[in-house]
Each structure stands twice: as C-alpha cells, then as structure tokens.
Amino acid sequence: MSTIQTEKFQIHNYDSSINAVIRRIEKEVSPANFALILKHDKVMVRESLAKPTRKKHLEILLSLDRLLRKDWEDVTKDDVILDSSFSFFLGLQFFSLTY
C-alpha cells in the first residue's frame, strides 16, 4: 500500500520568507542579539502568531538592530526614544506624547 503525500499549496510561501529573514539576521546582527531574536521568534510561534506577522516582526527587529548598532542588553531608554518630529517609522505610527 502506497502513501500519497500532498503538500499544501502556498501562494506567499511564508516559511521560506521567514527563513530568509532569519538568515539575514544571523549574518548582520551580533550573536547575542541573534539569540534574543530567536527566543522572540519561539515566543511568537508559541503564541500562534500568523506567519506574515512573524515575518514583519523579524524584519522590524532587523531594522531596529541596524539603527541601534549595539547589543540590546546595553540599550537604554534614551537610545529608543524617537524625536517627536518623526511620525512614521517602519510602518508603525509613533505619536508625540506632548500636547
């Protein structure tokens, strides 16, 4: 008796896209930051986040690492506070807290 395996057809193929982002992250960030990103990805999988959401979060983390250029364990609040003149960054809306 033979077993027929069928693969689910994927239009966007998020599995390979996520793997490609993870490979880019591994090449560009420090080993300490890479370990933190992998931990975060495992949390996203455990919490059943959708694959497109995981991919976007990983891309944002890579972009933030490129901007900060330091280990996240050493990042301070002053490093991540954005100037109030910025209103749009990486697809996320940041509003000034001053009224």
The residues near 11 (Cβ < 8 Å, ≥ 6 apart) are: none
Assigned domain for 41 exists: yes
Assigned domain for 97 exists: no
Whole-angstrom Cα distance, residue 7 to residue 12?
14
Is the confidence at residue 7, as pLDDT, over 70?
A: no
Assigned domain for 80 exists: no
The reported pTM is 0.71
Assigned domain for 90 exists: no
Assigned domain for 22 exists: yes
Q: Can you give the pLDDT at residue 79? A: 76
Assigned domain for 4 exists: no
Q: What's the average model confidence in pLDDT over 44-64?
A: 94
Q: Determine the structural domain holding residue 47 and report its residue range.
A: 14-74
Assigned domain for 98 exists: no
Q: How many domains does the chain have?
A: 1
Assigned domain for 38 exists: yes
